[in-house]
Structure 1
Amino acid sequence: MMVFWAILALVVGVIVAVGLARMLGSSERAVSGSHNPQALSVVGSALLSSFILVTAFLIASTWSTYNTDRQHTYDEARSVTTAYWLAGKLQPADRDRVRAGLSMYTDQVIADDWPAMGRHQTSDTAAATLDALRVEVGAIKPATAADEQDRADVSAALDDLYSKRLIRAADVNYSMPSLLYLALVIAAVLLVAYPPLVGLTANLRNTVVLAGLGAMVGLGILIVIGLSHPYSEPLSIAPTAFRHALQQFTQING
Structure 2
Amino acid sequence: MVFWAALALVVGVIVAVGLARLFGRSERAVSGSHNPQALSVVGSALLSSFILLTAFLIASTWSTYNTDRQHTYDEARSVTTAYWLAGKLQPADRERVRAGLSMYTSEVVADDWPAMGRRQTSATPAATLDGLRVEVGAIQPATAADEKDRADVAAALDDIYSKRLIRAADVNYSMPSLLYIAMVIAAVLLIAYPPLVGLTANGRNVMVLAGLGAMVGLGILIVVGLSQPYSEPLSIEPTAFRHALQQFTQING
TM-score under structure 2 normalisation?
1.00
Q: After superposition, what is the alpha-carbon deviation per residue over 1:182-214, rounded to whole angstroms, capped at 9, x for unaligned?
A: 000000000000000001000000000000000
| Percent identical | 90
In structure 2, the residue matched to 1:166 is 165
Residues of 2 paired with 1:164 and 1:23: CA distance? 53
Read off the aligned partner of 2:43 and give its amino acid letter: G
Residues of 2 paired with 1:99 and 1:140: CA distance? 14
Whether 1:9 and 2:24 are equivalent positions in the alignment is no
Tell me how large the CA RMSD over aligned residues is. 0.4
In structure 2, the residue matched to 1:79 is 78
TM-score under structure 1 normalisation?
0.99
In structure 2, the residue matched to 1:64 is 63
Q: After superposition, what is the alpha-carbon deviation per residue over 1:67-107, rounded to whole angstroms, capped at 9, x for unaligned?
A: 00000000000000000000000000000000000000000
Residues of 1 paired with 2:240 and 2:5: CA distance? 26
In structure 1, the residue matched to 2:156 is 157
Q: What does 1:17-96 correspond to in 2, within 5 Å?
A: 17-96=16-95
Read off the aligned partner of 1:90 and give its amino acid letter: L
In structure 2, the residue matched to 1:226 is 225
In structure 2, the residue matched to 1:196 is 195
Report the Cα offset of residue 141 of structure 1.
Answer: 0.2
Count of paired positions: 253
In structure 2, the residue matched to 1:246 is 245
Q: After superposition, what is the alpha-carbon deviation per residue over 1:19-53, rounded to whole angstroms, capped at 9, x for unaligned?
A: 00000000000010000111101110010000000
Q: What does 1:88-127 correspond to in 2, within 5 Å?
A: 88-127=87-126
Read off the aligned partner of 1:209 and give its amino acid letter: V
Residues of 1 paired with 2:148 and 2:222: CA distance? 49
Report the Cα offset of residue 111 of structure 1.
Answer: 0.3
Report the Cα offset of residue 14 of structure 1.
Answer: 0.4
Partner SS, residue 87 of structure 2 = helix
Residues of 2 paired with 1:139 and 1:201: CA distance? 79
Report the Cα offset of residue 55 of structure 1.
Answer: 0.2
In structure 1, the residue matched to 2:178 is 179
Partner SS, residue 166 of structure 2 = helix
Gaps of 5+ in 2: none
Report the Cα offset of residue 160 of structure 1.
Answer: 0.2
Residues of 2 paired with 1:197 and 1:65: CA distance? 37
Residues of 2 paired with 1:126 and 1:248: CA distance? 19
Report the Cα offset of residue 125 of structure 1.
Answer: 0.4
Residues of 1 paired with 2:175 and 2:221: CA distance? 14
Residues of 2 paired with 1:120 and 1:131: CA distance? 21
Partner SS, residue 89 of structure 1 = coil
